[in-house]
Amino acid sequence: MIQLVTFGIVIDDLHFADGTTHLNILGGGGPQTAWGMAAALGTGESVGIVADVGADLNEQHLAPLINAGVNLAGLRVVDRPTPYAHQLIAPDGTRVHQWVIEPALFDQPLDQTLPPTYQDARGLHWGLHPENPRVEFGAYLTAQGKQISLETYTPTPRPLAAHKFTRLMQACRVFSPNWAEACALTGKSERHSLIATFRAAGCRILALRRGAEGVEVWDFEQGQAVYVPALPIDVIDPVGAGNALCGALLATLDQGIERAACHGVVAASYLLEQIGLPSQLPLATDYQKRLDQALALLQPL
């Protein structure tokens, strides 16, 4: 039974600051999130992905998801190319996303968006543009008791109006911006003031991604917060690490935010140390070793 669903596939061309390029890479948030979910659970058998793709997407692109056991019944082949983008990656790991072929919106009625085998999923995650978040889909699913996790993928040019910010927080259980996105959304750059703004807006769980510094997870409902530093690895490619973190965190949220945050950091570590998705899920022994390391580094806030 499919319990976790994520959305979106994009074919990426990665352009690094040293002039190297990696073309035709499976990306777009959905695959990395699904891989993170599967890695945290040790299998992708309860994980599904929804996306409209073109005939240009082939089995070679999908091999990492197939090898992870992720269910692909939510992929719909349409009469247009798969969304396609350039990722321009700076020396500090920040990146600029440039669309070549933009995706269509997916926020349709539930029975038109999810295949029948995905309808009973308990957790769903996707990325959004915070200025035009189209939160109706998330609000609809949240009202049904689903655990919705939303991730921003670009800073806003100005803080969101209070009513829009509150509406966004109410449309999900987990909200996950990176530091720059959180500052832009709130208009705050001082950490305590920023956190207080999310709490006041009705945010339930804030997963604040801090890049090389790791992640802070704030459960405002339970009055609990933790910090997990990033694991010490050789970073090759930052693209998709935040997606994998979000996927693993949502997949293990029922274990409590301490373990969920650690699972997120572990899943992200595998994405960081190579180009694109790993071809296989990690060995259980290696994953457990990294999880133990993350748990040892965990700090209450």
Q: Which distant-in-sequence residues (6+ apart) come within 8 Å of 145 by Cβ?
A: none
- Using one digit for the tens of pLDDT, what is the confidence trace for 14-49? 998 888 999 999 998 999 999 999 999 999 999 999
The CA dihedral of 42, 216, 240, 266, to the nearest 10 degrees, is -30
Separation CA 42–CA 286 (nearest Å): 11
Q: Is 297 helix (H, G, I), strand (E, B) or coil?
A: helix
Question: What structural domains and CATH numbers belong to the chain?
Answer: 4-110+122-300 (3.40.1190.20)
Q: In the predicted model, is pLDDT for residue 107 greater than 80?
A: no
Separation CA 12–CA 180 (nearest Å): 23
Q: Is the pTM of this model over 0.75?
A: yes
- Using one digit for the tens of pLDDT, what is the confidence trace for 231-262? 999 999 888 999 999 999 999 999 999 999 99
The per-residue pLDDT for 228 is: 98
- Which of 135-144, 209-218, 292-301 is predicted with the least confidence, judged by mean pLDDT? 135-144
The per-residue pLDDT for 95 is: 79
Q: Of the candidates 219, 218, 212, which has an alpha carbon nearest to the alpha carbon of residue 265?
A: 212
- Using one digit for the tens of pLDDT, what is the confidence trace for 184-225? 999 999 999 999 999 999 999 999 999 999 999 999 999 999
Q: Which distant-in-sequence residues (6+ apart) come within 8 Å of 190 by Cβ?
A: none
